[in-house]
Structure 1
Amino acid sequence: MLIVFGILIILSSVILGLIVLVQNPKGGGLSGSLGGFSNQLMGVKQTTDVLEKGTWFFAGIVAILCIASSAFIPSATGTSSKNDELIKNAPASLPSTKPTNAVPITTPGADSPKSK
């Protein structure tokens, strides 16, 4: 089912992109050169209205498909991730990082018991 939603989202996104590329905010753009037939049929004013309505329609379709496709993602109930398994199998207490045969470090010229 996710594949169907993916194909529909990609198809409607491509159509939305084409509609946006055809229109120009100032009214020229590709709609002036490619939309000659539609200008004769509907007029210039209606062409921009149709393109704007098509933009909103396909943007809404993409949004609805994206939201609806999340309902079909399989949930991960009952399964655990690799991190969950590592946390469950971790030791109760971590070993001390202090070495057992530590030698105190002294700096030359410091107040040491031998210098007094």
Structure 2
Amino acid sequence: MITLITVLIVIAAIALILIVLVQNSKGGGLSSGFSSSNAIMGVRKTTDFLEKATWGLAGFIMVMSIVCVMLKPKASSALQPEIGAPAPVNTNAPDLSTTLPTIPSNTPAAPANEPTTPPAE
């Protein structure tokens, strides 16, 4: 059901994008193509239709988004820790935060005061 609502939201969003692109901010756009007054829908009716379609699609997207959130299955409270509660500790994993790397006993350690490379001349 959520997938169907999501698909409807995407289709409505694409239609809204197309309708907004057809409109012109100065009142032209698609309605400017109808120069004669005996057209099927007049200039004024085309502008009214595009404006109503814009508001209708925006409202549809808003309502469907709210419905999609309401239909989303809620996670059980046993899986989510409460706010302020300490995180559960995994006792099977070793604690590596306090261990230091060890140097194998068969490798000689270089003295700290001797340079490892000869000085450049």
| Length-normalised TM-score, structure 2 | 0.59
Q: Is the 8 A contact 1:22 1:30 kept in 2?
A: yes
In the aligned structure 1, how far is the partner of 2:111 from the partner of 2:58? 70
- Counterpart in the other structure of 2:54: 55
In the aligned structure 2, how far is the partner of 1:34 from the partner of 1:76? 55
- Counterpart in the other structure of 2:26: 26
Structure 1: 5+ residue stretches without partners: 81-86, 110-116
Q: CA deviation at 1:24?
A: 0.9
User: 3-state SS of the aligned residue for 1:54?
Assistant: helix
Higher helix share: 1
Decide whether aligned partners of structure 1 residues 79 and 34 sit closer, same or farther in structure 2, where only a CA change above 3 A counts: farther
| Length-normalised TM-score, structure 1 | 0.61
Structure 2: 5+ residue stretches without partners: 81-88, 116-121
Q: Is the 8 A contact 1:2 1:73 kept in 2?
A: yes
Q: CA deviation at 1:5?
A: 0.4
In the aligned structure 1, how far is the partner of 2:62 from the partner of 2:15? 14
User: 3-state SS of the aligned residue for 2:41?
Assistant: helix
Q: CA deviation at 1:14?
A: 3.0
In the aligned structure 1, how far is the partner of 2:70 from the partner of 2:111? 63
Q: CA deviation at 1:23?
A: 1.3
Task: State yes or no: 1:10 paired with 2:10.
Answer: yes
Q: Which one has more relative contact order, counting CA pairs under 8 Å at least 6 apart?
A: 1
- CA root-mean-square deviation: 3.3
- Counterpart in the other structure of 2:85: none
In the aligned structure 1, how far is the partner of 2:20 from the partner of 2:57? 10
In the aligned structure 2, how far is the partner of 1:73 from the partner of 1:105? 65
